[in-house]
């Protein structure tokens, strides 16, 4: 008898354990099913989850929540490290509750292609948004084959930042706004000569994929006419040789050393290790963060050099990040309203955080001042990021297959920069592997 009771007890316990998952699940779905109509009845706000690694100011979110009582935007800050995209991808794929996600600088196109994000054309048409007029050159970063999946909201534009104190001490004139690659190399060489006893380099170019191509992108083409890999374009060859030469002459921190030391632009340049640095507009954001980067010198910024005399200046390299709605979001309408508000009305917040807003109608006369405020840049220098006469090109490969192309190029080219393979071998390998990948 006793044993039978024990057995029944065990069975009951096991059943309870086993049933636990499913019963909790059904309770959950029931609760949410009950919630939906209840929410409409009592106007419970819809929760919109927005994930990002660079959030300007909580105030613009509070303003939005106050103005839209039916929506409650919840911000989730994620670390700004190399794994940030993987984290967002997994959130989007696992059917998590993410409603608004950012995708940065050229990483968006494979994600548009995969169907991870909801198309936005319907919303754009309904609200009568003229993408070309509103976003100009940034508009292409939100679309794939004519369909919009993302709205550009934050841009990166490169420049050559220079440490004015070092130039003054060396007696070298500041970089001009109309200079060529040759002049850039000469300036870097002079500054390296001046700083070599203190271990100060003339300039800095990071190891990001295709970072060596920012200037050459003014002329180079990634693909041939018939859609094959065009890595042997003379412009790319010259760009690669230039990086290698500057590395070998110790004018800039060599590629391998950046990798080995895990050097980063902001702490290196703001730590006074270089006289110049090739960096995006986001360096302004870091210059405002005096706690993290306590530096004490004046900084100016010049446009990127022109590749050669045939290119019209001024020139810069650019890319844009977009906001998108994951295809499995339950609240697309509300998410869209938040995106629209963010992009159209928060440009000043984005500028104040040291990032470039992309909504052109918001480019007022003060925007460069707001952007530079708190950093050592003068508003005249800041204006260079907002001028519409700049010849903008991109080093990112935004055509189909571009992500793989850049990955292959990075893997092969680092061996050339580290002096393990000749330029010819490297270019042959890139060409072969890219063409194989494109053929698939």
Partner 1 sequence: MKRKRKLTQIQLREERAGYAFLLPSLIGTTIFIIIPIVMSLLLGFTEWNPMKGLAGLEFVGMENFKNIVDDERVVSALRNNLIYSFSYVPLTISIALVLATFLNKYVFFKIPIRMMTFMPYISSLVSVATVWMVLLYPESGPVNSILTNVFHVADPPKWFVSSQWALIGIIMMSVWHDVGYYCIILLANMQGLPQEVYESAAVDGASPIQTFFRITIPMMSSSLFFCITLATINSFKIFDQVNIITEGGPGFSTTVLVQAIYYYAFKEYKIGYAAAVAIVLFLVIFVFSTILQKAEEKLTY
Q: How far is CA 353 from CA 56, 111, 261, 284, 297, in A?
A: 5, 27, 29, 9, 21
- Of the candidates 111, 273, 285, 337, which one interacts with partner 1 according to CB under 8 A? 111
414 binds partner 1 (CB under 8 A): yes
The 3-class secondary structure across 82-130, one letter per residue, is CCHHHHHHHHHHCCCCEEEEEECCCCHHHHHHHCCECCCHHHHHHCCCC
3-state SS class at 203 = strand
- Of the candidates 330, 391, 400, 418, which one interacts with partner 1 according to CB under 8 A? 418
Instruction: Give the nearest distance from C-beta 91 to partner 1 in angstroms.
Output: 12
25 binds partner 1 (CB under 8 A): no
- Of the candidates 27, 31, 261, 264, which one interacts with partner 1 according to CB under 8 A? 261
CB-nearer residue toward partner 1: 112 or 303: 112
Is beta strand 315-324 parallel, antiparallel or unpaired with respect to 299-302?
Answer: unpaired
Subset of residues 314 to 333 that bind partner 1, contact rule: CB under 8 A: 328
Q: Residue 118: CB partners within 8 Å, gap ≥ 6?
A: 149, 324, 325, 326, 327, 329, 332
Q: Output the six-digit token pair for 204.
A: 């800095």
127 binds partner 1 (CB under 8 A): no
> 91 and 98 in contact (C-beta within 8 Å)?
yes
- The one segment of 9-17, 42-50, 208-216, 338-346 that binds partner 1 by CB under 8 A: 9-17
Q: Between 156 and 185, how does the x/- string for binding to partner 1 read (CB under 8 A)?
A: ------------------------------
3-state SS class at 374 = coil
H-type alpha helices, 208-331: 234-248, 255-261, 265-269, 282-288
Cα–Cα nearest to 212, from 401, 424, 417: 417
24 binds partner 1 (CB under 8 A): no
420 binds partner 1 (CB under 8 A): yes
11 binds partner 1 (CB under 8 A): yes
3-state SS class at 246 = helix
CB-nearer residue toward partner 1: 94 or 387: 94
CB-nearer residue toward partner 1: 182 or 411: 411
264 binds partner 1 (CB under 8 A): no
**Quick one: which H or E segment has residue 340?**
helix 332-345
CB-nearer residue toward partner 1: 70 or 399: 399
119 binds partner 1 (CB under 8 A): no
3-state SS class at 160 = strand
Instruction: Give the nearest distance from C-beta 335 to partner 1 in angstroms.
Output: 18
378 binds partner 1 (CB under 8 A): no
CB-nearer residue toward partner 1: 15 or 227: 15
- Of the candidates 36, 90, 133, 169, which one interacts with partner 1 according to CB under 8 A? 90
Subset of residues 188 to 247 that bind partner 1, contact rule: CB under 8 A: none
Residue matched to tokens 């053929």: 439
**Quick one: which H or E segment has residue 302?**
strand 299-302
List the helix and strand counts (H, then E) for the chain. 18, 12
334 binds partner 1 (CB under 8 A): no
92 binds partner 1 (CB under 8 A): yes
Distance CA 202, CA 1 (A): 89
400 binds partner 1 (CB under 8 A): no
Which residues form the interface with partner 1 (CB under 8 A)? 3-4, 6-7, 10-11, 13-14, 17-18, 86, 89-90, 92-93, 111, 114-116, 256-257, 259-262, 328, 404, 411-412, 414-415, 418, 420, 433
């Amino acid at each position: 008898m006793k044993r039978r009771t024990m057995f029944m007890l065990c069975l009951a316990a096991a059943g309870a354990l086993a049933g636990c998952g499913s019963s909790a699940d059904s309770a959950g779905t029931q609760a949410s099913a009950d919630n939906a109509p209840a929410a409409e009845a009592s106007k419970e706000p819809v929760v919109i989850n927005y994930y990002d690694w660079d959030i300007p100011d909580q105030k613009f979110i509070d303003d939005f929540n106050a103005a839209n009582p039916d929506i409650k935007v919840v911000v989730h800050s994620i670390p700004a490290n190399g794994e940030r995209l993987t984290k967002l991808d997994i959130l989007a794929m696992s059917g998590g509750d993410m409603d608004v996600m950012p995708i940065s600088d050229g990483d968006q196109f494979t994600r548009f292609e995969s169907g991870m994000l909801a198309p936005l054309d319907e919303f754009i048409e309904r609200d009568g948004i003229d993408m070309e007029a509103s976003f100009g050159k940034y508009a292409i970063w939100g679309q794939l084959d004519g369909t919009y999946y993302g709205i550009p909201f934050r841009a990166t534009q490169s420049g050559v930042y220079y440490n004015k104190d070092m130039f003054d001490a060396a007696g070298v004139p500041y970089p001009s706004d109309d200079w060529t690659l040759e002049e850039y190399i000469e300036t870097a060489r002079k500054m390296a000569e001046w700083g070599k006893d203190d271990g100060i380099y003339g300039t800095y170019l990071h190891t990001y994929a295709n970072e060596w191509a920012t200037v050459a992108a003014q002329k180079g083409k990634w693909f041939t006419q018939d859609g094959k890999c065009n890595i042997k374009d003379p412009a790319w060859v010259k760009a690669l040789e230039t990086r290698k030469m500057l590395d070998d002459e110790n004018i800039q921190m060599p590629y391998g050393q950046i990798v080995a030391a895990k050097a980063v632009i902001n702490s290196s340049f703001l730590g006074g290790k270089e006289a110049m640095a090739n960096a995006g507009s986001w360096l302004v954001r870091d210059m405002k963060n005096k706690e993290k980067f306590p530096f004490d010198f004046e900084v100016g910024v010049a446009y990127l050099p022109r590749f050669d005399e045939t290119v019209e200046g001024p020139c810069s390299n650019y890319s844009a990040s977009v906001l998108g709605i994951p295809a499995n979001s339950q609240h697309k309408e509300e998410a869209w309203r938040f995106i629209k508000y963010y992009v159209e009305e928060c440009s000043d917040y984005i500028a104040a955080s040291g990032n470039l807003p992309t909504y052109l109608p918001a480019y007022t006369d003060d925007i460069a001042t707001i952007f530079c405020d708190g950093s050592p840049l003068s508003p005249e220098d800041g204006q260079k990021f907002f001028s519409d006469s700049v010849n903008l090109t991109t080093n990112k490969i935004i055509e189909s297959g571009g992500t793989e192309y850049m990955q292959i190029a990075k893997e092969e080219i680092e061996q050339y920069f580290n002096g393990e393979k000749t330029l010819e071998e490297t270019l042959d390998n890139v060409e072969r592997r890219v063409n194989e990948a494109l053929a698939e």
